[in-house]
Amino acid sequence: MIATLHQSLGVFAFTTLLEIAVIVRILLRRHRDPAARIAWIVVVIALPLLGLFGYLLLGEVNIGRARARRLQAVLEGMPKITWQTGRDEAASAGTIPDRYRHLFELGHSISGFPPVSGNVGSVLPDSNAAINAMIADIESATKHVHVLFYIWLPDHNGIKMAEALKRASARGVICRVIADDLGSRRIIRSKQWREMHMAGVRLVAGLPIGNLLLGQLQGRIDLRNHRKIVIVDDRVTYCGSQNCADPEFRVKAKYAPWIDLMIRFEGPIVRQNQFLFASDWMTHADEDLGELLSKPLPSTISHGFPAQAIGTGPTVRYSAMPETFESLMFAARSEIIATTPYYVPDESLHNALCTTAYRGVNATIIFPARNDSWFVGSASRSYYADLLDAGVKVYEYKGGLLHTKSMTVDGEVTLIGSANMDRRSFDLNYENNILFYDCALTWAVRECQQNYVSKSSLITKETVASWPIQLRLWNNLIATLGPVL
């Protein structure tokens, strides 16, 4: 009995030392906000063994030392961004009003890309229109096609894309494809992937998972490449929320249709997306795209607008994405409209949105009424009361899962891309967005946003007050776990 007691005390002492070590690590880790530190400490203490394993699996933002070294070497070896100085930058800055210039300065500090003028763009209103436009551009390609998707399904649109790439490769067009190894696992393990490879399409599974247990030793497996980029001949690029899939999204059909928004751009902004794609490509594939990136910029369009690509991720400056959202909110003088399927903000972003409404700006945010993530849906609704008290108009879209990630400011500036307003996009995912100043294109995006509003229910204070107390308790409980996940 004494031996058993000694053994139990030994296990207790060992577990306690482990807990203390992990708590010290939580307190010492850089860039962890206080709410996240407190949440993880509570989890480790309340669930001694599960909490320890949970932190080891989910507590560190780590893509693995080997991947980090490789990415750093790729970035250091890339050609210098030739448009950072000279007439192009001065011309771009001159077309941006002073009240918005700081937004592009912030973007420059994140990715190193200044705003470049001479761009044009058009809104593709839905998933099928976006895929069809991409395929039409691929069919006209003569030099290269670059494709990056987080989710690529072997459904109707997914197979159409694969067939277009095979045809382009057969014409001698160099086709490079990155598909995230988790989000696109269905296409990567399909016959379409094998057929593309046999047709000469160069394929990469982004952030490969490998063995689920051993993979954790190489880096956190839920750090994903969430970007959506298509580039054709250094001439055309696409940016927005669209994955390569049907709007029926059969893997989660009960939430369908998926409602997305993509913009087709032409002009020098294409080259900035090339740099983002190339950084991902050269990190995974043993191929140097430096020569392509060093070619003269595409000719600008005299009546085109200034735009800037903003790429974020776990190896980019901490808090870059929420900084971008917050700066846009504080720049608004009369109106801001945002759409996001996932709203699990940090404190500063949530306060920025509330403050924007408190200072008299007409602030609107649109969420899906039915969220494919019960966790995120519950957490999002825990913030409704604060938003409504501040005067933010909150809508829930009823026509499917609103997947569009967009923000328009005063009918003049737009941010479009892959990033959500949640901690996963802030800390864990590689994201791509484009910021631009153009009234006409911004109003085209705004019309899409207003169309979402017309198909949404307005959430009021009375709506939230009518929720049963157990629902409000559940939503708030889930929200407290937001900093942990």
> Is the pLDDT assigned to residue 65 strictly greater than 60?
yes
State how far the alpha carbon of 233 is from the alpha carbons of 115, 174, 314, in Å.
Answer: 21, 10, 29
Note whether residue 106 is domain-resident: no
Instruction: Quick: pLDDT tens for 2-30.
Output: 656 555 656 566 667 777 777 777 677 66
Q: What secondary structure letter does DSSP report for 174?
A: E
> At 76, which CATH number?
3.30.870.10
The more confidently predicted of residues 356 and 224 is 356
Q: For residues 296 and 281, state if they share a domain.
A: yes
What is the Cα–Cα distance from 164 to 45, expressed in whole angstroms?
A: 54
Q: For residues 299 and 382, state if they share a domain.
A: no
Of 380, 387, 309, nearest in space to 341 by CA: 380
Task: Show which of 310, 344, 360 is a domain's final residue.
Answer: 310
Note whether residue 110 is domain-resident: no
Task: Show which of 281, 310, 339 is a domain's final residue.
Answer: 310
Catalytic sites, residue numbers: 226, 228, 233, 403, 405, 410
Q: Which residues, in sequence order, are bridge partners of residue 459?
A: 394
176's CB contacts (< 8 A; 6+ apart) are: 144, 145, 146, 147, 201, 202, 204, 277, 281, 285
Report residue 221's pLDDT band, with 50, 70 and 90 as the boundaries.
Answer: confident
Q: For residues 169 and 219, state if they share a domain.
A: yes
Q: What secondary structure letter does DSSP report for 319?
A: T
Task: Show which of 289, 310, 331 is a domain's final residue.
Answer: 310
Q: For residues 335 and 290, state if they share a domain.
A: no
Cα angle, residue 137 at apex, residues 156 and 403 outer, rounded to 5° = 55
> Is the pLDDT assigned to residue 395 strictly greater than 70?
yes
Q: For residues 385 and 365, state if they share a domain.
A: yes
In 3-state terms, what secondary structure has residue 166? helix
Note whether residue 180 is domain-resident: yes
What is the Cα–Cα distance from 115 to 101, expressed in whole angstroms?
A: 9
Would you state the pLDDT for residue 300? 67
> Is the pLDDT assigned to residue 480 strictly greater than 90?
no
401's CB contacts (< 8 A; 6+ apart) are: 249, 252, 255, 256, 257, 258, 259, 341, 368, 370, 371, 372
CA 321 to chain centre: 9
Of 293, 294, 262, nearest in space to 146 by CA: 293
Is the bond into 257 cis (omega within 30 degrees of 0)? yes
3-state helix, strand, coil in the chain (%, to 5): 50, 20, 30
Q: Which two tokens stand for residue 252?
A: 């989660």
In the chain, the number of structural domains is 3
52's CB contacts (< 8 A; 6+ apart) are: 18, 19, 22, 44
Q: For residues 139 and 206, state if they share a domain.
A: yes
> Is the pLDDT assigned to residue 335 strictly greater than 50?
yes
Note whether residue 485 is domain-resident: no
Note whether residue 471 is domain-resident: yes
Note whether residue 109 is domain-resident: no
Q: Which two tokens stand for residue 321?
A: 């994405």
Q: For residues 45 and 75, state if they share a domain.
A: no
Q: For residues 128 and 181, state if they share a domain.
A: yes
User: What integer is the mean pLDDT of 101-110?
Assistant: 96
Would you state the pLDDT for residue 85? 43
Would you state the pLDDT for residue 59? 64
Would you state the pLDDT for residue 86? 45
* Residue percentage of the chain with pLDDT more than 90: 66
Q: Which two tokens stand for residue 189?
A: 């393990």
* Residue percentage of the chain with pLDDT more than 70: 84
State how far the alpha carbon of 461 is from the alpha carbons of 254, 370, 375, in Å.
Answer: 29, 19, 22
Q: Which two tokens stand for residue 417?
A: 């891309």
What is the Cα–Cα distance from 464 to 482, expressed in whole angstroms?
A: 20
Would you state the pLDDT for residue 93? 59
What is the number of other CB atoms lying within 10 angstroms of the CB of residue 390? 17
Q: For residues 341 and 291, state if they share a domain.
A: no
Q: For residues 290 and 348, state if they share a domain.
A: no
Q: Are 326 and 348 in contact (CB under 8 A)?
A: yes
Q: Are 324 and 418 in contact (CB under 8 A)?
A: no
Angle, in degrees to the nearest 10, between helices 469-480 and 374-381: 110
Of 379, 358, 360, 152, nearest in space to 245 by CA: 152
Note whether residue 104 is domain-resident: no
Q: For residues 133 and 201, state if they share a domain.
A: yes
Domain span at residue 238?
A: 65-94+115-310
Instruction: Quick: pLDDT tens for 161-174.
Output: 999 999 999 999 99
Note whether residue 81 is domain-resident: yes
In 3-state terms, what secondary structure has residue 149? strand
Q: What secondary structure letter does DSSP report for 317?
A: P
In 3-state terms, what secondary structure has residue 237? strand
> Is the pLDDT assigned to residue 432 strictly greater than 70?
yes
Q: For residues 29 and 83, state if they share a domain.
A: no
